[in-house]
Structure 1
Amino acid sequence: MTFFTKMRGAGTRPPRVGAAEIGWSFLGAAAGIAAVAFLHERVADPAGLSMLIGSFGASAVLLYGAPKSPLAQPRNLIGGHVLSALVGVTVRLAIASPDWLACSLAVALAIAVMHATGTLHPPGGATALIAVTGGPKILALGYLYVLFPVLSGALIMLLVAVVAVNAAPNRRYPEYWL
């Protein structure tokens, strides 16, 4: 018997979801990302701001694909992103070099802050990392990054999640607000 077969649950698979769940997840994610992208294209980008960051793709997986997850609840979504953005910008401003140190501290501190505040949201780690490694447009935002794209985009995705998830007959979001 190998190590992997001795592991608890070895040989079993997680339960699969049905076609309806896949369809509702697809529709919610498409609507949430479309709303943020549309507002980015029409409002934010012409004003020299950004509303799109990669970590929103991971948030979409949680919000629309696993809306019952504690990590997908509003407190975690908003708090996790905003606190991680604050940490990321602060680290970037405090440690300009070496990059490896700024990157590692931004992510590690973001995780610690999210844990300490009860706002753990895994995409928040990417939000902190983007604050440090983002292109010139993101880096030029400074603390404005916390508002645009982070807070504004997360709030839009939250509003879409409340509508899209609750449109499905057997789905409910949020499980709790705070």
Structure 2
Amino acid sequence: MYQRLITSRHFVPLLAGFGAMLCITALSSLGSAVQSSVWLMAPFGATMVILFGLPESPLAQPRNIIVGHLLTTAIGLSVATLVGVTPWTLGLAVGLAVSLMMLTNTTHPPAGANPLVVMLAGEHWDFLLMPVAAGAILIVVFGVLYHRVISGKQYPKRWF
């Protein structure tokens, strides 16, 4: 009966939303618990859609989530540091991010927004570690635990 319930057409979307809610709540709570610590950024919300809604997708695998977020954030920070922030460099950074994710087989669509986030917000290199690296790793760990314990789906399909 439980297996039939968790695979029903109406239950699966609710279960995915529940996982996303728990993960973002946990990251947000960490930020509140550790003063002046940020564990969230907007693209993580889009990562929730892929990780909890489509966990079998290649785009949801740990390599794609972690490396995709790190690579694109580093590109945004590099472009901003080297040539500044202009309409042209915003486009350049996103274009480079898309190309490098595809070339390295680490495509994760939500990470495509990271260059814009860091460049428009004027973030610095410490942003790469917190919230990007720490948050992406915790998201993957949360996803593994959630899918193994609650959703019953096999996640990940591959690590790296």
What TM-score, normalized by structure 2, do the two folds share? 0.89
For the residues of structure 2 that align with 1:24 and 1:77, how far apart are their CA atoms?
A: 20
Q: Deviations over 1:129-176 (max 9, x none)?
A: 101112xxxx25x11111111011111111111111222454111111
Q: How much identity, in percent, do the aligned residues show?
A: 33
| 1:55 corresponding residue in structure 2 | 43
How many pairs are equivalent? 153
Q: Is the 8 A contact 1:102 1:132 kept in 2?
A: no
Structure 2 residue 116 is matched with structure 1 residue 125: no
| 2:139 corresponding residue in structure 1 | 157
Q: What is the one-letter code of the residue matched to 2:135?
A: G
Structure showing greater Rg? 1
What TM-score, normalized by structure 1, do the two folds share? 0.81
Spell out structure 1 runs of 4+ moving beyond 3 A.
Answer: none
Cα distance change of structure 1 residues 101 and 169 upon mapping to structure 2, 3 Å threshold: closer
| 1:78 corresponding residue in structure 2 | 66
Structure 2 residue 2 is matched with structure 1 residue 20: no
For the residues of structure 1 that align with 2:149 and 2:13, how far apart are their CA atoms?
A: 14
For the residues of structure 2 that align with 1:152 and 1:170, how far apart are their CA atoms?
A: 25
| 1:32 corresponding residue in structure 2 | 23
Q: Which structure 1 segments of 5+ residues have no match?
A: 1-16
For the residues of structure 1 that align with 2:83 and 2:109, how far apart are their CA atoms?
A: 23
For the residues of structure 2 that align with 1:107 and 1:169, how far apart are their CA atoms?
A: 34
CA RMSD, 1 decimal: 1.5
